[in-house]
């Protein structure tokens, strides 16, 4: 099946700093989503971005499908941005539409 | 629009028992997928239901099963619980048309502890 690698695994920032999270995937994708998992475990949708660039406030994402990677940018980070960020993809040869494969996540800590 | 809801939020069971978890999707979404999250294995796909039919299945033993009702609500059942079944179980709903599935939206999860 499709493989997903996220980097870095851990990231510690001071409030106000910018950061870039990366997601590499091993095959063509029909779906790519970025999520933020809050301390209570809920996965919050950030972007649905199988290709192209999107922005939502201080967050933006870019997926270069031909080169099989996606980037999540966080600008002017705040303590509330802390948590785990997941990239999840659906695609490859066994595509079925619904089966998301998740990376291992990036644990982001923003210190005041 | 109300989000995805899951009940119960927390469960404690003992080995050998069975458990049923419930998920109500976003109104208008007919595809419901289930995922298991553990510290060791991360987030793994269990199965998807659409129009009351299982459309896709992950690599889990037959002890894990599910169903979907005509109102798109879904339940998953785990029989003969093992300690390793302790996990956060997440449900996601999405729009589906043929093989095209939209963005998946997750519920708050059910934390299951097996003693």
Which spans in chain B are helix H?
Answer: none
Q: What is the mean pLDDT of residues A37-64?
A: 95
Q: What residues in B contact A96, CB-CB < 8 Å?
A: 48, 55-56, 99
Q: What is the mean pLDDT of residues B88-111?
A: 92
Residue A46 and residue A38 in contact, taking contact as beta carbons nearer than 8 Å: no
C-alpha A28/C-alpha A45 separation (Å) is 21
Q: What residues in B contact A31, CB-CB < 8 Å?
A: 101, 103-104
B68 token code pair = 């979907």
C-alpha B29/C-alpha B50 separation (Å) is 9
Task: Compute the nearest-CA separation of A17 from chain B (Å).
Answer: 28
Residue B70 and residue B11 in contact, taking contact as beta carbons nearer than 8 Å: no
Which pLDDT value is given to residue B96?
A: 87
Answer whether B3 touches A (CB < 8 Å): no
Nearest to A105 by CA among A3, A18, A8: A8
B26 token code pair = 């976003």
Answer whether residue A96 shows pLDDT above 70.
Answer: no
Looking up tokens 């066994």 gives A94
Cβ distance of A96 and B55 shorter than 8 Å: yes
Gap between the terminal Cα atoms of chain A: 40
Answer whether A98 touches B (CB < 8 Å): yes
- Rounded to the nearest integer, the mean pLDDT of chain B is 95
Cβ distance of A98 and B55 shorter than 8 Å: yes
pLDDT band at B98; cut points 50, 70, 90: confident
- Rounded to the nearest integer, the mean pLDDT of chain A is 94
Residue A99 and residue A30 in contact, taking contact as beta carbons nearer than 8 Å: no
pLDDT, tens digit (0-9, with 9 covering 90-100), for B17-57 = 999 999 999 999 999 999 999 999 999 999 999 999 999 89
Nearest to A42 by CA among A73, A84, A91: A84
Answer whether residue B99 shows pLDDT above 80.
Answer: no
Residue of B nearest to A44 (CA): B106
Answer whether B43 touches A (CB < 8 Å): yes
Residue of higher predicted confidence among A106 and B100? A106
Q: Is the dihedral of CA B9, B14, B15, B16 positive or negative?
A: negative
């Amino acid at each position: 099946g499709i493989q997903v690698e996220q980097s870095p695994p851990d990231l510690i920032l001071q409030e106000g700093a910018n950061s870039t999270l990366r997601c590499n995937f091993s095959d063509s994708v029909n779906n790519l989503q970025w999520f933020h998992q809050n301390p209570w475990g809920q996965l919050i949708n950030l972007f649905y971005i199988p290709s192209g660039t999107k922005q939502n406030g201080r967050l933006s994402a870019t997926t270069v499908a031909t080169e099989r990677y996606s980037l999540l940018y966080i600008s002017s980070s705040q303590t509330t941005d802390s948590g785990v960020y997941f990239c999840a993809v659906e695609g490859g040869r066994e595509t079925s539409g619904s089966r998301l494969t998740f990376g291992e996540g990036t644990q982001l800590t923003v210190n005041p | 629009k109300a989000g995805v809801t899951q009940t119960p939020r927390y469960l404690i069971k003992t080995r050998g028992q069975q458990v049923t978890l419930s998920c109500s999707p976003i109104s208008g979404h007919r595809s419901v997928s289930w995922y298991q999250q553990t510290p060791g294995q991360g987030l793994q796909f269990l199965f998807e239901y659409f129009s009351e039919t299982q459309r896709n299945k992950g690599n889990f033993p037959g002890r894990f099963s599910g169903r979907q009702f005509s109102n798109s609500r879904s339940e998953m059942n785990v029989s003969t619980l093992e300690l390793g079944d302790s996990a956060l179980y997440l449900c996601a709903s999405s729009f589906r048309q043929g093989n095209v599935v939209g963005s998946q939206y997750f519920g708050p999860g059910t934390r299951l502890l097996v003693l």
